[in-house]
Structure 1
Amino acid sequence: MDVRRVKFSVIAIILQIIFIILFGVLGEYGDSAKAKSPSPAYDVASMYPYFQDVHVMIFVGFGFLMTFLKRYGFSAVSVNLLLAAFVIQWAYIVRGIIHSVAHGHAKFPVHLGEMLSADFASATVLISFGAVLGKTSPLQLLIMALIEVVLSQINEYIGLDKLGAVDVGESMYIHAFGAYFGLAVARVLRNDQHDEAKSEGSVYHSDVFSMIGTIFLWIFWPSFNGGAASGDEQHRALINTYLSLAACTVITFAFSQLVDNRGKFNMVHIQNATLAGGVALGTSANMPLQPWAAMAIGCLAGIISVIGYQYITPFLDSKLKIHDTCGVNNLHGMPGILAGIVGAAFAAMASSDTWGESVYEIFPLMVPADNSTELMDVMKEYPMITEAGIGRSSTTQGGYQMLALVLTLVVSIVGGALTGLILRLPCFDNVHGNRMFDDREFFIVEGQGFPENEDGGFDDDANHTKVPMLSQNS
């Protein structure tokens, strides 16, 4: 057997063994899951439905959304499953080291809350996967995931724990990061052979399958934005996301028709831009925006996304040589930036006069500093506030929100470019020319799955053995 065909298997097995060892050495059940003296730290009954919603988004939503390529359906769904399963384990380890082991704890806790965070981490990598869909090998994607999870979790740690920049729906730390990391990888991996690819594009049934992913993501997106919140914050996150998605969908259909010379809807827009409202609301979902503002943000996100697919994606491809297979810049990148800006703007306008105690619950660092008269007054007025902050002003909080967005863009772009350079090494099984966007490079595919009027065969292995394509009627 060709060494190239077993390299992925050997490395995947080694990494899985390493994961098991690291879980054995560094991981343990969280307090609420321990057999002896369990602590009621997590309300499993109330949290698990939100986790399950996000779980469906990761494995069904993202997977089927990327099945629009006519010859890449196997890879879109299957490699999505592979990457998500791989990242869930790796993210647990990386997050455990950053948040527990590095702070003096002997082991990191394994519990339902971290299961949700691990799913969020996998979403970051799957967004990047969309930018390089069809142009990378499974081995390259595993290496990309190893690097990206580390960088994204460090970026999130700095943003949340050090800068105090909140992002309940992770639009900055997941969507923007994943999009621009993936675009940077795609730019570095691009070569002159991209133009030789013959299999890129969709057919009727592949676009229908992609809509399955769209519908699942659309339905469950409120859980993505609100699953990590609680109380009134969670209630607002669900309402705001729900309304933003609805308004975004209507505007997407309207603008899709307006930008087309024939006045027709474009399925690329319908599959993707209808979801942009969920991304654009992520950072501010738990804030008291008022329903009309959530709807307005959804409308703006739909407009930006449609314009991105219609005009910006072709510009990036032709002028900047950035080939974005799924258009992640339009669904995750630009709406993620919009989310960060909206979050910063509302943070700068936040006050206890209009938000009540929610301003301190959403922005804990805005609670007055310890041993101050202001702290005593706040605790007296709002008994739910039990810990001191640093007395950060709303304007300063807004500035830190913007700083976190800028940091996210810098880390994702630089990290993605460096990762792309690593993935260019021949040892990682680069995919070239007409082998791109074709399942037959890595999967056993029945010939009936491909039109008979295209090329008559495919180089299925290193010895260039021709696999004849069968007629649809065979």
Structure 2
Amino acid sequence: MALRNKKTAILLVICQIVFIILFGVFVDYAPDADARHPGNSHDQNGTDHENNSLKMYYPMFQDVHVMIFVGFGFLMTFLRRYGFGAVGLNFLLAAFVIQWSLLVQAFFEVGQHGGGRFEIDVTTMLTSDFACAAVLISFGSLLGKASPIQLITMALIEIVIFTINEHIGVGLFSAVDVGGSMYVHAFGAYYGLAVARVLYKNSHKENPKEESNYHSDLFAMIGTIFLWMYWPSFNSALAPADDQHRAVLNTYLALAACCVVTFAISSLTDAKGHWDMVHIQNATLAGGVAVGTSADMMLHPFGALMVGSVAGMISTLGYKYLTPFMANRLKIHDTCGVHNLHGMPGVMAGVIGAIMAGIASTQEYEYEDIHEVFSLVQPGIGRSAMAQGAYQALALAVTLVFAIVTGALTGLLLRLKIFDQPEGGMIHDDAAWWGTPEDFTVEVVNGNKSAKGLMTEMEDK
């Protein structure tokens, strides 16, 4: 038991040392943060706080940061015996990915421009948090069923694939996805689901430890509320000027409609008309995902309400009917239901983005503004709106293929015994990995003792 846990610690120490060395070689401050930059000289009155990029982006960065560490972390605390793992491993993975994603970005940047250093500033902090979101979404599908060393290894691989896919979509196709619904949500969901399918065990299905209790569901609602409140920042953080304002409004309205429809569908699909806390914790957020790709486009307020309403309905029905079908028939056990919150709404967002790009015109956008939203669309000169729509659809298709294929290959690697996949009483149980207090009692479920019970017996022997 002790050796299994210490393998993770050794891997983390090795990775952190390597990160420090690579940052020393490849990474430096961007001009806005560099005291050596002439424009920042106090002697020449060059420092201009008003024009520093930190002033513009940091408030929204903090919103996104709260989503990553508080929102995602607490959303996953619904498992009654895996609260430490939900919040704690969320914390660890995000801190790990922040560093690794910056390095992977640096490798791409240096490789493309043939030397020099990768310069980091507040905008690269934002893109690193977006990369964290992709990994944490994948983590949600594996919650309680993967060991820490499996999760760290998955993060190392996933960030490389994530960056390649984003480079293809943004760099080669110029496909717009301001809220990351394709590149972050859909990718993270289907990558994680593919890993979950390959790692599937019969003990994952209908495990009583997967249940919640009253207090764990309340903690999970903390994550829901934080995510719901700050999602407009996630979808708009990197958009400029009126595009950013539009993205905030569209996300705000989509989330509101999604919440209302989720409550309605949840009640209508229950024999007693009760609300299901799983639906309320998760499906209420689907509108933020579904509007992400088109958030900065001229969707119009009524369009945002429609997108949020449909997303809420699809996500709630997914939790009610599709999740059990996937577990029973397809052997895809999705602990957090990321397919319903991130997968299907992410695909929906990509389709809406392709449609909105295809019908974009100078009647809806000023000439300069259409070029601002779609960088290659310039009527009479550059790419046509219809062509942009086709590239948007292509980016979605490539993202899904990349996620599923590479996720399955990653799952095959993680099946190796060296990665210590949890079995029996260790599944959905904090005691396998954490020091737990006395009130964390031993349970016997289907003949399997909890991890704490197994460890106690080993210590007694």
TM-score per shorter chain, which class?
A: over 0.9
Number of paired residues? 448
- Following the alignment from structure 1 to structure 2, what is the Cα–Cα distance between the partners of residues 194 and 296? 36
- Following the alignment from structure 2 to structure 1, what is the Cα–Cα distance between the partners of residues 262 and 93? 30
Structure 1 residues 4 and 224: CA distance shift in structure 2, 3 A: same
Structure 2 counterpart SS, 1:109: strand
Match for residue 383 of structure 2? 392
Structure 1 counterpart SS, 2:313: helix
- Residue 300 of structure 2 corresponds to residue 308 of structure 1: no
Q: CA deviation at 1:105?
A: 3.5
- Residue 381 of structure 2 corresponds to residue 358 of structure 1: no
- Following the alignment from structure 2 to structure 1, what is the Cα–Cα distance between the partners of residues 67 and 342? 15
- Following the alignment from structure 1 to structure 2, what is the Cα–Cα distance between the partners of residues 445 and 205? 17
CA contact (8 A) 2:425 2:451 kept: no
CA contact (8 A) 1:194 1:433 kept: no
Which residues in structure 2 correspond to 1:125-136 (within 5 Å)? 125-136=135-146
- Following the alignment from structure 1 to structure 2, what is the Cα–Cα distance between the partners of residues 298 and 245? 6
- Following the alignment from structure 1 to structure 2, what is the Cα–Cα distance between the partners of residues 349 and 102? 33
Match for residue 419 of structure 2? 428
- Following the alignment from structure 1 to structure 2, what is the Cα–Cα distance between the partners of residues 429 and 298? 41
Match for residue 43 of structure 2? none
- Following the alignment from structure 2 to structure 1, what is the Cα–Cα distance between the partners of residues 412 and 137? 19
CA contact (8 A) 1:458 1:467 kept: no
TM-score (norm 1): 0.91
CA contact (8 A) 2:298 2:364 kept: no
Correspondence for 1:63 among 60, 73, 89: 73
CA contact (8 A) 1:32 1:38 kept: no
Which residues in structure 2 correspond to 1:190-209 (within 5 Å)? 190-195=200-205, 197-209=207-219
CA contact (8 A) 1:197 1:433 kept: no
Structure 1 counterpart SS, 2:348: helix
Structure 2 counterpart SS, 1:28: strand
Match for residue 99 of structure 2? 89
Structure 2 counterpart SS, 1:364: coil
Deviations, residues 202-237 of structure 1 (Å, cap 9, x unaligned): 011100000000000000000000001110000000
Match for residue 405 of structure 2? 414
Match for residue 465 of structure 1? 457
- Following the alignment from structure 2 to structure 1, what is the Cα–Cα distance between the partners of residues 211 and 307? 31
Which residues in structure 2 correspond to 1:292-331 (within 5 Å)? 292-331=302-341
Which residues in structure 2 correspond to 1:149-168 (within 5 Å)? 149-168=159-178
- Following the alignment from structure 1 to structure 2, what is the Cα–Cα distance between the partners of residues 102 and 60? 35
- Residue 27 of structure 2 corresponds to residue 27 of structure 1: yes
Q: Which amino acid aligns with 1:231?
A: A
Show structure 2 runs of 5+ residues with no match. 40-47
Q: Which amino acid aligns with 2:457?
A: T
Q: CA deviation at 1:38?
A: 5.3
- Following the alignment from structure 1 to structure 2, what is the Cα–Cα distance between the partners of residues 55 and 339? 23
Q: Which amino acid aligns with 1:35?
A: A
CA contact (8 A) 1:460 1:466 kept: no
Structure 1 residues 463 and 291: CA distance shift in structure 2, 3 A: closer
Which residues in structure 2 correspond to 1:211-360 (within 5 Å)? 211-356=221-366, 357-360=368-371
Q: Which amino acid aligns with 2:414?
A: L
Q: Which amino acid aligns with 2:31?
A: D
Match for residue 367 of structure 1? 378
Q: Which stretch has the larger CA shift, 130-139 or 31-40?
A: 31-40
CA contact (8 A) 1:130 1:328 kept: yes
Deviations, residues 15-70 of structure 1 (Å, cap 9, x unaligned): 01000100000011111111122557842112100000000000000000000000
Structure 1 residues 149 and 461: CA distance shift in structure 2, 3 A: farther
- Following the alignment from structure 1 to structure 2, what is the Cα–Cα distance between the partners of residues 196 and 54? 34
Structure 1 residues 226 and 415: CA distance shift in structure 2, 3 A: same
- Following the alignment from structure 1 to structure 2, what is the Cα–Cα distance between the partners of residues 286 and 105? 34
Match for residue 130 of structure 2? 120
Structure 2 counterpart SS, 1:157: helix
Q: Which stretch has the larger CA shift, 319-328 or 98-107?
A: 98-107
- Following the alignment from structure 1 to structure 2, what is the Cα–Cα distance between the partners of residues 266 and 223? 28
Show structure 1 runs of 5+ residues with no match. 369-373, 376-390, 469-474
Which residues in structure 2 correspond to 1:3-18 (within 5 Å)? 3-18=3-18
Q: Which amino acid aligns with 2:90?
A: N
CA contact (8 A) 2:90 2:136 kept: yes
- Following the alignment from structure 1 to structure 2, what is the Cα–Cα distance between the partners of residues 450 and 159? 49
- Following the alignment from structure 1 to structure 2, what is the Cα–Cα distance between the partners of residues 179 and 119? 16
Q: CA deviation at 1:459?
A: 4.4
Q: Which stretch has the larger CA shift, 9-18 or 455-464?
A: 455-464
- Following the alignment from structure 1 to structure 2, what is the Cα–Cα distance between the partners of residues 25 and 153? 20
Deviations, residues 414-471 of structure 1 (Å, cap 9, x unaligned): 0100000000000011111221000001001123134878789544599773589xxx
